[in-house]
Amino acid sequence: MATMKPTPKDELHRAVSVLQDNKGRWARLGVPARIDLLKRCLKCTADSADGMVAAANVAKGIAADDPVAAENWLGGPMTTLRNLRLLALVLDEIRKHGRPRLEAKQLSLRPDGQVVANVFPRESLDPMMFPKLSAEVWMEPGVARDEVIGGMAWAYQQGDVADTGKVALVLGAGNVASIGPMDVLYKLFVENQVCVLKMNPVNDYTGPFVEKGFQPLIDEGYLRVVYGDSAEGDFLVHHPGVDEIHMTGSDRVHDIIVWGPPGPEQEAAKATGKPRVNKRFTSELGCVTPVILVPGEWSDGELQFQAENVATMLANNASHNCNAAKVLVTHAAWPQREAFLARLKKVLAGVKPRQAYYPGSEARYQKYVAAHPEAERIGDGAGARLPWTLVAGVDPSKRDDPAFTTEAWCAVLAETGLPASDVVDFLAKATVFANDTLWGTLSCSIVASPKTLGEAGVNAAFERAVSELRFGTVAINQWAALAYGLVWTTWGAFPGHTLDDVRSGIGVVHNALMFHRPQKTVIRGPFTMAPKPPWFVTHKGGAELGKKLASYEAKPSLAKLPGIAIAAMKG
């Protein structure tokens, strides 16, 4: 898959040496100079956006005018531009006030004393751009309200910044173009570390555009972008000049890096607590992502909207996403269970099969359907274009079913019906099932109609479920990927994993308000939305809208809103 030549070992060594030489200068660099760098990168990234999207379209087999090209705008330059812009805003608040702005009214306490920060909407135009959408960051239990404020922007607490500096290795993801650049921004501007970004061979074609976009950081010796596969990655992981490591990928690759090849060697290393890497190692890894459908009486329009919502969670990026919907959790006796599945299949039948561009996808797909001969193929998949595939009625008692234990990373979705006496009982059982049976803790969605939440006792049970779900993001009525894209929010696994049981990873990224001990993000959105959200795979104006949204993030303006609105209405 690689299109770029591997960076020679001597150049890798020079890259690390340059960063070592400049890590202290970066650590002492004042906030105004950092803001200037962000603004310059904002312009450079905007200038390179068209080229990056065009390259991604070619690599993923998408025509430039195909509406699903929206995903390469939204998951590429738009989100990176937003990250750059919001970091500049936050650093300006730090310049003026010593820390990011967070008013007392934005903090609340749950009944158990857990502190919640309301982080979105935050800017004046947010309610227009994202109507009826809100987001919260919940802190770890035991963190007091004053500790939340005092811990924000911890790297900036002594004057501008205070640190001797570190060199971080970022092992980039191969699926979404913004992941590597945004991981770099977190390391640089939140954790105060200069970076070497090793591009993933699957999408290393985006590397030259990352270099163009982040050229101001490269020119100052704060960033190096390099290329290669596992050999180059291993060289950097063990390089004495690399102080910390962050990766986005799979737990399997993580364990190979930390503990050695699968088999007796890895098992012995874990058993004796002797990792191959003795450096701080943070990560964002995979998940068997649940979508919990709370039973209720849904109208035809509500069934349609949520069918398109779930179809998007599956189909976006050919399902090569760590937050792709993988298990629908339903009430076995929900009267509309079959009606919803029928509507979902009808929506998917209208979504063109996508090129399974990620290495190994076809083999994973064949293994998955072999384990589930009842799988229903939807659409005309051929060759590398895999059909959307639904496995309905998976027995929830079979805890070792691969649909529950293994991230599929291909175009498949399972559905399982839980027996429950009523809605309240279902919410309790669905929470336990998602927490204890499904593998991973990165993100989940829970969908419920306002009518159902208004029934006696249901809202309290629903909020209890939101509280008890052990996922880094819990999205209400929406795709959890919104937490990735909002940037004010955190993105990462639920806390508590360790190197020898890493699951969905350790630590968070994005987190533009620089909270020190966040537990999870909670997204709250409406049960239906009009116009259709730009990320929906069924949005007919998606590509045009994605480009306009990227332009907006590069330079927000009221004058751009009419064009965005017109494109949005084409959905």
SS (H, E, C) 38-95: HHHHHHHHHHHHHHHHHHHHHHCCCCCCCHHHHHHHHHHHHHHHHHHHHHHHHHHHHH
Where is average pLDDT lowest: 115-124, 160-169, 226-235?
A: 160-169
Predicted pLDDT at 2? 78
Return d(Cα 480, Cα 478) in angstroms, integer.
Answer: 6
Q: Which domain CATH number covers 431?
A: 3.40.309.10
* Structural domain includes residue 434: yes
Two tokens at 375? Answer: 């799988």
* Structural domain includes residue 399: yes
Predicted pLDDT at 381? 74
User: Residue 403: which pLDDT band, with cuts at 50, 70 and 90?
Assistant: very high
Predicted pLDDT at 380? 78
Q: Are 200 and 233 in contact (CB under 8 A)?
A: no
- Taking residues 481-495, report their average pLDDT: 98
Model confidence at 25: pLDDT above 60? yes
Predicted pLDDT at 159? 55
Predicted pLDDT at 384? 79
* Beta carbons within 8 Å of 84's beta carbon, 6+ residues apart: 38, 41, 42, 45, 185
Task: Give the three-state DSSP class for 261.
Answer: coil
How many domains does the chain fold into? 1
Two tokens at 356? Answer: 């399974």
User: Residue 157: which pLDDT band, with cuts at 50, 70 and 90?
Assistant: confident
Of residues 137, 218, 194, 196, the one with CA closest to residue 523: 137
Return d(Cα 334, Cα 371) in angstroms, integer.
Answer: 27
User: Residue 161: which pLDDT band, with cuts at 50, 70 and 90?
Assistant: low
Return d(Cα 260, Cα 238) in angstroms, integer.
Answer: 13
Q: Are 53 and 69 in contact (CB under 8 A)?
A: yes
String of DSSP letters for 445-510: EEE--HHHHTSTTHHHHHHHHHHH---SEEEESS-THHHHHHSSSEEEPPTT-BTTB-TTEESEEE
* Structural domain includes residue 181: no
Taking each helix axis as running N to C, give the angle between helix 31-59 and helix 179-189, from 0 to 180 degrees, rounded to the nearest 10: 170
Number of CB atoms found within 10 A of residue 125's CB: 14
Return d(Cα 489, Cα 46) in angstroms, integer.
Answer: 23
Two tokens at 365? Answer: 């797909």
* Structural domain includes residue 260: no
- Own/partner pairs for 103-112, CB < 8 Å, 24+ apart? 107/145, 107/148, 107/149, 109/145, 110/138, 110/467, 112/141
DSSP class of residue 133 equals: -
Return d(Cα 78, Cα 551) in angstroms, integer.
Answer: 8
* Structural domain includes residue 407: yes
What does the pLDDT look like over 290-304, one tens digit per residue? 999 999 999 999 999
Tell me the whole-structure pTM to 2 decimals: 0.97
Of residues 288, 564, 488, the one with CA closest to residue 402: 288
Residue 316: give the domain boundaries.
Answer: 289-486
> 381-413 burial, b for 16+ CB within 10 Å, e for fewer?
beeebbbbbbbbebebeeeebbbbebbbbbbbb
User: Residue 379: which pLDDT band, with cuts at 50, 70 and 90?
Assistant: confident
CA-to-CA separations, 82 to 46, 57, 78, 288, 554, in angstroms, rounded? 11, 21, 6, 28, 7
Of residues 255, 317, 316, 323, the one with CA closest to residue 288: 323
* Structural domain includes residue 325: yes
- Taking residues 174-180, report their average pLDDT: 98
Partners of 390 in the beta sheet? 376, 413
* Structural domain includes residue 378: yes
Q: Are 368 and 331 in contact (CB under 8 A)?
A: no
**H-run or E-run covering 109:** strand 107-109
* Structural domain includes residue 351: yes
- Among residues of the chain, what percentage have pLDDT more than 70? 99
Instruction: Quote the mean pLDDT of the chain.
Output: 96
Two tokens at 348? Answer: 């998917």
